[in-house]
Structure 1
Amino acid sequence: MKNLLSSLRVKEGEVYEANYDRKPRWYRRLVDAGVEENGIMPIPLEQRISTRYSNLFTVFFTCLLCLLPIPTGMLATLGMGLSLRDASLIILFFALLTSIPPAFMGIGGMETGLRQLIQARYSFGLYFVMVPLLLNAATLTGFSLLSAVVGGQTLSSLNTDKVNVDVGIVIICLVAFAVSLLGFNALHLWERWAWIPNLISIVIAVGCGGSHLHLQGEARPATPSQVLTFGCLIAGYCITFGGTVSDYSIYHKPHRVSRIRVFLYIYSGLLFPSVPLLILGAAIGGAVPNVPSWEQAYHATGVGGVMSEMLAPAGGFGRFVLVVLALSVIGNIAISMYSVALNLQMLLPFFAKVHRFLFILATMAIMIPMAIRAAEAWEESLTNFLAVIGYWAGCFDAVLIVELLVFRRMDYSTYDHGIWNVGEKLPSGLAAIGASLVSLALVVPGMAAPWYTGLIAKTTGDIGFEMAFVVTAISYMPFRWLEIRWRGHL
């Protein structure tokens, strides 16, 4: 027992060391096969050796080149009554804007060698970081279960008598589990190539069923309230990557590539698949009420049923393409489960020495029944989820960006590896939490979720995300300045 406890102890300032030669042969074989050894410990500069920077594009491009954006876009026309033109403009503008914070934050993984929520400790402190940590884990689990529902619905639409949605969800989750288990290199390898069949299958589906997409219902011009409310959903879709983006760049070598290039890789990886597929979803949503077979399929098996109807003219080949479409969500679930496992490793000090396998297994065990439950009220689940996550992510991104720009003056060397798990040397976190709480004074009356609409939002529409980001950023500056004066250090 004493030896076990000793092996789980993490020393203050301990960084990752690849003690490859000291490990058993079976362990070395796993590492040689591509299984990632490290969890949340900082990666020293000499071990950040990857120069394949284009992976930072493909990991997000493939993650989002799947079915998940389609039902999100459908909410605009099918759920909120927007026209396709108005929905497309809202998607484009808000995606262009809200993809900037996570793309900027992703540079920090390469420059610091720190996971995203470990970087957050340098603002939120060792203890208060638990708040965004748990919120981020819940968000990633939510995205995973929504992806699992879409994939499960699509598999089920092949034969609803033999494969129900629940079975489809389990199949999708098990495959994603295997990919996420292997770790960083395996994820980048999967995401580097999996976009090809995903893209081909989406193009075929649009080619087969696109003749019905012009059958859009009449819609009144969008009101400011509708614009801001749907824009908040798009913000929740894009900006939440700020909680994970550095997890996928910590092994990349800095100083060999410009920060602008890294930013553009991540930004385009988020933007290029999202905008076209969200707009495609809006087009499908607008056509569903006017195409009887699509409407019937949507009520039976959701977006998977609609995709099945779109591919029906292709016969047996269309059914094969439908399977590929269902599997397209694996890349999205895999990176989410990977980051959730990392988040769980940060909950308690000794968890850093517990392998990600156990946390991924626990996440999957929780996610499968939750996804099955979410599938029973699909549209409501999606709307509630996207409406809420943008608020906390706005606070989180604002704190980390202001910390880097204002107080650390873009000097990544101030993220000292020697204090990453030393509570008394890290910030107290009072400034970050205080600024986030101050923003709630305007977030709550400015939010418009299906279960609650604030007094301000009744007039303006949902402005909760904007208030969260702007008010937190403004409040954090004086709070953090006072914290630095009080503590005597960053």
Structure 2
Amino acid sequence: MVSIKGEESYPEKVPSVEVGSEESHSDTTHLQSKYVSWIYKLDDFGIETRGIERVSSEERRQLASSKPRYYQFVHVIGLWFSACGGLTSMSSFFLSSFLFGLNMRDSMVSGLIGMIIGCLVPAYCSTMGPKSGCRQMVGARFLFGQWGVKFVSLICIVGGIGWSVVNCVLGGQILISINHNIPLSVGIVLISVISLIIAIFGIKVVLKFQTIMAIPLFVATILFYVVVCKRTDYIHAANELIKEANYSSITTRGNWLSFFTLGYSVTATWGSGASDYYILFPEETPGYQVFIVTFLGITIPSTFVAVPGTLCGVIAYAYPPWQDAYNSFGVGGLINEVFKPWGRFGSFVVIILYISLICNNIMNTYSIAFEFQLIDVKLAIVPRWCWAILVTIIYIVLSIAGKEHFSTILSNFLPMLGYWISIYIVILLEENLLFRSSVKVRSLHYKEFDGTDDSNWNYNWANWDKPRGRTMGLAAALAFCFGVVGAVMGMNQVYYQGPLAIKIGDYGGDIGFWLAGAFTGITYPVFRYLELRKFGR
């Protein structure tokens, strides 16, 4: 292990085999040690052992040259549709009336607008993948530095595990509502194991599996529209019941803001790993194409499932059979009750929707493993699939422990992720727009270049594993702290209401992600300018 002036550096790297071969996945390097070298022999079985190493420009060109240019875009469109066009995205929108007391109009407006704004975050983050060849949080080293990114990685781990818990608990609810003799834990374990098997085989298998599953999920969602719309006459009754609750105007606005934050968090949180799925794209891929494909790839399926989810939740507020199913078995029970008139075929459609939870969970399991490798260089020696197994064990245990509290986990956990991702995207945007233009790079004399090419957003991506060739992360760390202050002042959760949030109606209104972004946006340029003047990197 080599260290430079107290900073971490990566151990010696050992070359792997050629990219695109049937026997393995890359010709770049694997971090190996004599103590774990035997683990890498699983390459022979097709398991992807590549971790956080950067994919070189040459390697990506070689891979892209063997297939038509549109091929990669087709796969990522399928990937996003399977991950976003299922029950995971839909689940939050069931809660607009039950938890937030919103009528049909307010539910649609707040949830959909928040969700669509959230899609802009991963769309922008994804453009980093082709330019850098790095995973999203590996690229975050150029913002937070070698040490700051460790904390950021821990946040991503918590976020990914939290989403996995949501998927597993909802899956367990679905199976137990179909067959009361099946323990909820069986549904949890089943989702977890299948997700793990697909995820450990790597990005190529993940992309193909997700693309194939996009078609049956699309059909299942259309059928969900059909069966839900048969009860739309109860929407008026639900609106009347909510009106009778006699919420004041300011209280309704507060609930509107809280549900808006929930909708935003559903899609914005993809930003922490969006570029992970574009690292095999050629460096020359236009950024606007990646942005548009990602934005539409997330927005269209998310909207497609959010609308019937909202309809179903509002109808259930006034339709006793659906409400009883929700009270007995949660969202999973509600979905099964909706399809009950269709008998066995309805149960089959529910199982297809159950598989959508696996599609979402695969991406969590795949990406979280990289965050462990960023915490310490010694952990990077251990292959990605080992961390995937550990992550799976963790969220199985947490899912079984929290299996009775699905709506609480969902409504309290997701906004917390929205706060963090707002801080990250503001720092990324300001770094790229204010400090990484060609003029700024040359005038501020970035030490990371030292005469090298300053293309690709003016990052020297070759320094992905060289601490002295990147920022120290002091500006990002300080701005992050101010962003946290903003989030605390505006958050509206069961366990804590910020001093500003509590003033919005009887139950408060969540404006945490707005304030987190604003506080970060004001402070980061000041701190970054000072950091550059002092350290030059």
TM-score where L is the length of structure 1: 0.91
Whether 1:446 and 2:466 are equivalent positions in the alignment is no
Would you say the 8 A contact 1:115–1:246 is kept in 2? yes
After TM superposition, give the deviation of residue 19 of structure 1 in Å.
Answer: 5.6
Return 327-336 or 467-476, whichever deviates more. 467-476
After TM superposition, give the deviation of residue 213 of structure 1 in Å.
Answer: 3.5
Alignment partner, residue 45 of structure 1: 57
**Equivalents in 2 of 1:15, 1:61: separation in Å?**
37
1:337-352 equivalences in 2 (<5 Å): 337-352=365-380
Alignment partner, residue 301 of structure 1: 329
CA deviation profile, 1:55-85 (whole Å, cap 9, x unmatched): 2322122101111122200221111010111
Q: 1:27 to 1:348 in 2, by over 3 A?
A: closer
After TM superposition, give the deviation of residue 368 of structure 1 in Å.
Answer: 0.6
Would you say the 8 A contact 1:36–1:185 is kept in 2? no
**Equivalents in 2 of 1:272, 1:111: separation in Å?**
25
Whether 1:126 and 2:146 are equivalent positions in the alignment is yes
Partner amino acid for 1:10? Y
Whether 1:415 and 2:459 are equivalent positions in the alignment is yes
For 1:80, what is the secondary structure of its paired residue? coil
Alignment partner, residue 202 of structure 2: 183
**Equivalents in 2 of 1:388, 1:85: separation in Å?**
26
After TM superposition, give the deviation of residue 244 of structure 1 in Å.
Answer: 0.3
**Equivalents in 2 of 1:455, 1:249: separation in Å?**
41
Alignment partner, residue 236 of structure 1: 265
**Equivalents in 2 of 1:299, 1:227: separation in Å?**
23
**Equivalents in 2 of 1:429, 1:265: separation in Å?**
31
**Equivalents in 2 of 1:323, 1:247: separation in Å?**
29
After TM superposition, give the deviation of residue 418 of structure 1 in Å.
Answer: 3.4
Q: Percent identity between the aligned chains?
A: 29
Alignment partner, residue 222 of structure 2: 203
Alignment partner, residue 158 of structure 2: 138
**Equivalents in 2 of 1:33, 1:240: separation in Å?**
33
**Equivalents in 1 of 2:40, 2:382: separation in Å?**
17
**Equivalents in 1 of 2:86, 2:174: separation in Å?**
12
Of residues 479, 483, 489, the one that matches 2:527 is 479
**Equivalents in 1 of 2:503, 2:39: separation in Å?**
60
Return 223-232 or 358-367, whichever deviates more. 223-232
Partner amino acid for 2:83? C
CA deviation profile, 1:29-76 (whole Å, cap 9, x unmatched): 975875334210111001113442232322122101111122200221
Of residues 182, 185, 188, the one that matches 1:169 is 188
Q: 1:29 to 1:361 in 2, by over 3 A?
A: closer
Of residues 433, 438, 463, the one that matches 2:511 is 463
**Equivalents in 2 of 1:438, 1:418: separation in Å?**
31
After TM superposition, give the deviation of residue 16 of structure 1 in Å.
Answer: 7.3
Partner amino acid for 1:229? S
For 2:378, what is the secondary structure of its paired residue? helix
Would you say the 8 A contact 2:116–2:264 is kept in 1? no
Alignment partner, residue 388 of structure 1: 416
Of residues 88, 103, 108, the one that matches 1:83 is 103
**Equivalents in 1 of 2:152, 2:14: separation in Å?**
23
After TM superposition, give the deviation of residue 120 of structure 1 in Å.
Answer: 0.4
Return 210-219 or 31-40, whichever deviates more. 31-40
Of residues 47, 50, 65, the one that matches 1:35 is 47
After TM superposition, give the deviation of residue 200 of structure 1 in Å.
Answer: 1.4
Would you say the 8 A contact 2:88–2:356 is kept in 1? no
**Equivalents in 1 of 2:306, 2:131: separation in Å?**
32
Would you say the 8 A contact 1:76–1:282 is kept in 2? yes
Partner amino acid for 2:47? V
For 1:453, what is the secondary structure of its paired residue? coil
**Equivalents in 2 of 1:440, 1:309: separation in Å?**
41
Would you say the 8 A contact 2:224–2:308 is kept in 1? no
Q: 1:413 to 1:231 in 2, by over 3 A?
A: closer
CA deviation profile, 1:231-278 (whole Å, cap 9, x unmatched): 1112221211111001000011132x4221111110011111112322
Whether 1:290 and 2:318 are equivalent positions in the alignment is yes
Return 220-229 or 123-132, whichever deviates more. 220-229
Would you say the 8 A contact 2:228–2:312 is kept in 1? no
Whether 1:376 and 2:404 are equivalent positions in the alignment is yes
Would you say the 8 A contact 2:490–2:511 is kept in 1? yes
Whether 1:363 and 2:391 are equivalent positions in the alignment is yes
- How many residue pairs match? The answer is 476
**Equivalents in 1 of 2:175, 2:226: separation in Å?**
20
Partner amino acid for 2:511? I
TM-score where L is the length of structure 2: 0.84
Would you say the 8 A contact 2:437–2:458 is kept in 1? no
Of residues 283, 302, 307, the one that matches 1:254 is 283
For 2:375, what is the secondary structure of its paired residue? coil
Q: 1:214 to 1:182 in 2, by over 3 A?
A: farther
After TM superposition, give the deviation of residue 171 of structure 1 in Å.
Answer: 0.8
Would you say the 8 A contact 2:228–2:311 is kept in 1? no
**Equivalents in 1 of 2:201, 2:315: separation in Å?**
41
Whether 1:112 and 2:132 are equivalent positions in the alignment is yes
Of residues 214, 231, 248, the one that matches 1:212 is 231
Would you say the 8 A contact 2:144–2:473 is kept in 1? yes
Return 423-432 or 121-130, whichever deviates more. 423-432
- RCO comparison, higher one (Cα < 8 Å, 6+): 1
CA deviation profile, 1:343-402 (whole Å, cap 9, x unmatched): 111111132232112101100111012112222111111111012111111111111221
Would you say the 8 A contact 2:432–2:457 is kept in 1? no
Would you say the 8 A contact 1:54–1:265 is kept in 2? no
CA deviation profile, 1:214-235 (whole Å, cap 9, x unmatched): 3121234783322221111122
Partner amino acid for 1:223? T
Would you say the 8 A contact 1:140–1:340 is kept in 2? yes
Runs of 4+ residues deviating >6 angstroms: 26-30
After TM superposition, give the deviation of residue 199 of structure 1 in Å.
Answer: 1.6
1:421-440 equivalences in 2 (<5 Å): 421-440=465-484
> What do you get for the CA RMSD once the two structures are aligned?
2.4
Alignment partner, residue 3 of structure 1: none
CA deviation profile, 1:425-482 (whole Å, cap 9, x unmatched): 3211110010111223332121111211111112242111011112212211111111
After TM superposition, give the deviation of residue 119 of structure 1 in Å.
Answer: 0.5
**Equivalents in 2 of 1:32, 1:197: separation in Å?**
32
Alignment partner, residue 96 of structure 1: 116
After TM superposition, give the deviation of residue 91 of structure 1 in Å.
Answer: 2.0
Q: 1:346 to 1:442 in 2, by over 3 A?
A: closer
Would you say the 8 A contact 2:48–2:202 is kept in 1? yes
Whether 1:226 and 2:255 are equivalent positions in the alignment is yes
CA deviation profile, 1:178-209 (whole Å, cap 9, x unmatched): 11111110111111121111121222233234
For 2:338, what is the secondary structure of its paired residue? helix
After TM superposition, give the deviation of residue 118 of structure 1 in Å.
Answer: 0.6
**Equivalents in 2 of 1:276, 1:336: separation in Å?**
21
**Equivalents in 2 of 1:470, 1:419: separation in Å?**
30
For 2:102, what is the secondary structure of its paired residue? coil
**Equivalents in 1 of 2:215, 2:116: separation in Å?**
24
After TM superposition, give the deviation of residue 280 of structure 1 in Å.
Answer: 1.9
